[in-house]
Structure 1
Amino acid sequence: MYMKPIKIIECPRDAMQGWPKQIPTAVKVAYINSLLRVGFDTLDMGSFVSPKAIPQMADTAEVLSLINTADTHTKLLTIVANLRGAEAAMAFNSINYLGFPFSISPTFQLRNTNSTMQDSMERVAAIQQLCTTHQKQLVIYLSMGFGNPYGDTYNETVLLDWAAVMAQMGIGIISLADTVGLATADQVKQALEVLIPKYPQIEFGVHLHSAQSNRAAKLQAALDAGCQRFDGAIGGIGGCPMAQNDLIGNMDTSFMIDYFKQQQIPIAIEESVFEKSKVLSSQIFS
């Protein structure tokens, strides 16, 4: 039996950010309040980015001011793409983590954060310093972590080299992001089998966008490699709107929970509350 504790990071931000219909702030607040009581380790609930780029997330500050973080152990994460966004996030004591999408595809880094790889490294260093000062933690997502649709050079060495750079910068949590669902199960397993033993001071996770046809294989590959941090979104909704036209959805949280239960992996989920959250999700994303 797999006895290591599993962390599930629920990502309503990822589900909402590319949704074509504007979701009212009050609806987001009700949904996030429900999710906060499910038992997830962390909620990736919003982002401080340009409202021109991601208009759906323009009300993140308002949502944060309205949600109820009492009586929950779930921590909050918001995505930022530059120092200005990170500084805005510092105003909220309720935020535990800042997430920065660092693409190992130069083309996607320009598309997603309007910065070069060098500029992005400088941003990471500045945001890391800010987080240290304000007792928050920076989570680096190595996006396009298993390949990209742009023809940029990719191999396992590219991924491992960038992970080494982040380790040298003192990053404590790194999530390997299969941004457009290109990863094979073997890629996921091989990368984590190298990284987890090499950097025991770092918590490695996976953010696996995936089609139904190979999601079980990818999930099992990460488990086999010793991964304990898994991102998902209820219903498998989501995808990065800056990536390409055909979005590959997130790993469905319901599927992950069922899969972990079948494997007799202990998870701290309040199932009755989770079912209520699923109902809300189906009403929002319809």
Structure 2
Amino acid sequence: MIQLIECPRDAMQGIPDFIDTSIKAAYINQLLEVGFHTIDFGSFVSPKAIPQMRDTAEVLEMLDLHKAQSKLLAIVANVRGAEDALQFEEIDYLGFPLSVSETFQQRNTKASIAQALETVESIQNLCEVKGKEQVVYLSMGFGNPYGDPYSPELVAEFVEKLDQLDVKTISLSDTIGVADTDLITKLFEVQINSFPHLTFGAHLHSRQESIQEKVLAALKGGCRRFDGALKGFGGCPMAKDDLVGNMATEVMIETLEGEGFDLQLNKAELGEAMKLANSVFH
């Protein structure tokens, strides 16, 4: 079964002009009608680092969750953020960005990889107490622009450490859109064969014309969990100056359905969400 994760947080976070809280909530409420597995809806991080997400708690209060089937995921970058997020019963997953690149870990969370792994352990302990699940994003998981060491074997070392910490879901993240199809297939194949008890996701950034081939490559490698954002908006503001957008969800849906997967989405509500995206991200 495919898990499709819609990421309005990732789509919004790099936009310099503040999006009104009520507009954010209205958009996420529309996304909740579609039937995605999870909505990555906000983050509990420093407002200085990501000003756009300073109203995540207020947005959460405005969400209509009484009949929503989708789970909610919030990104955190440290233990304090995790503690803030865990005050809300409505949140199912905490996402933490752990980087294979030392340079990017410092840029993204102002911590070393070693410190970040300690944070992952602390957050995992908090999640287990509260009955929540941590999703770790292995950013720069397909290479980096900084000249830092990278290999599929290095990724496997990170997965091994996360497995020892009892993290169950790991999203391999191509933060800057450098992965080719062969690497995508190989990386998922190796990790899924080595750690069959874990769930591996694909959080790939891509130019529009490469989305279909990247989805097919991840599928071939055994991946069944995909992150995207409608219309391909967003990208990581901490990575490089030129943002490579998220995988456009509508293209992923078309590709996955073309491969015979029934995603059980409400297409009418999806159409409304696409229209709303145009006004939110104008």
Question: With structure 1 as the length reference, what TM-score do the two structures score?
Answer: 0.97
Give the C-alpha shift of residue 262 in structure 1: 1.7
Give the C-alpha shift of residue 163 in structure 1: 1.1
Q: Give the corresponding residue for 2:51.
A: 55
CA distance in 2, matches of 1:103, 1:160: 13
> 2:211, 2:252 within 8 Å by CA — same for their partners in 1?
no
Give the C-alpha shift of residue 106 in structure 1: 0.2
After superposition, residues 40-79 of structure 1 pair within 5 angstroms as 40-79=36-75
Q: Give the corresponding residue for 1:274.
A: 270
Q: Does 1:143 align with 2:136?
A: no
Give the C-alpha shift of residue 245 in structure 1: 0.3
CA distance in 2, matches of 1:214, 1:33: 29
After superposition, residues 70-149 of structure 1 pair within 5 angstroms as 70-149=66-145
SS at match of 1:95: coil
SS at match of 2:278: helix
Q: Give the corresponding residue for 2:231.
A: 235
**What one-letter code is carried by the residue in structure 2 that aligns with 1:76?**
L
Give the C-alpha shift of residue 158 in structure 1: 1.2
SS at match of 2:135: strand
Q: Does 1:177 align with 2:173?
A: yes
Q: Does 1:205 align with 2:194?
A: no
CA distance in 2, matches of 1:146, 1:80: 22
Structure 1 residues 121-161: Cα deviation after superposition (integer angstroms, max 9, x where no partner): 11000000000000100000000000001111111111111
Q: Give the corresponding residue for 1:224.
A: 220
CA distance in 2, matches of 1:63, 1:212: 29
CA distance in 2, matches of 1:31, 1:113: 28
Give the C-alpha shift of residue 87 in structure 1: 0.2
Give the C-alpha shift of residue 84 in structure 1: 0.2
List structure 1 runs of 4+ shifted beyond 2 angstroms. Answer: none
Structure 1 residues 44-102: Cα deviation after superposition (integer angstroms, max 9, x where no partner): 00000000000000000111111111111100000000000000001100000000000
Give the C-alpha shift of residue 201 in structure 1: 1.5
Give the C-alpha shift of residue 222 in structure 1: 0.7
SS at match of 1:213: helix
Structure 1 residues 100-124: Cα deviation after superposition (integer angstroms, max 9, x where no partner): 0000000000000010011101100
**What one-letter code is carried by the residue in structure 2 that aligns with 1:162?**
F
Structure 1 residues 175-231: Cα deviation after superposition (integer angstroms, max 9, x where no partner): 000000011111111011111121122100100101123222211011111111000
Q: Give the corresponding residue for 2:31.
A: 35
**What one-letter code is carried by the residue in structure 1 that aligns with 2:62?**
L
Q: Percent identity?
A: 50
Stretch of structure 1 that moved more, 153-162 or 36-45: 153-162
Give the C-alpha shift of residue 20 in structure 1: 2.1
Unaligned runs of 5+ in 2: none
Give the C-alpha shift of residue 23 in structure 1: 0.3
Q: Give the corresponding residue for 1:247.
A: 243
Q: Give the corresponding residue for 1:257.
A: 253
Q: Does 1:21 align with 2:17?
A: yes
CA distance in 2, matches of 1:20, 1:258: 31
**What one-letter code is carried by the residue in structure 1 that aligns with 2:77?**
A
Give the alignment's Cα RMSD to 1 decimal.
Answer: 0.7
> 2:5, 2:227 within 8 Å by CA — same for their partners in 1?
yes
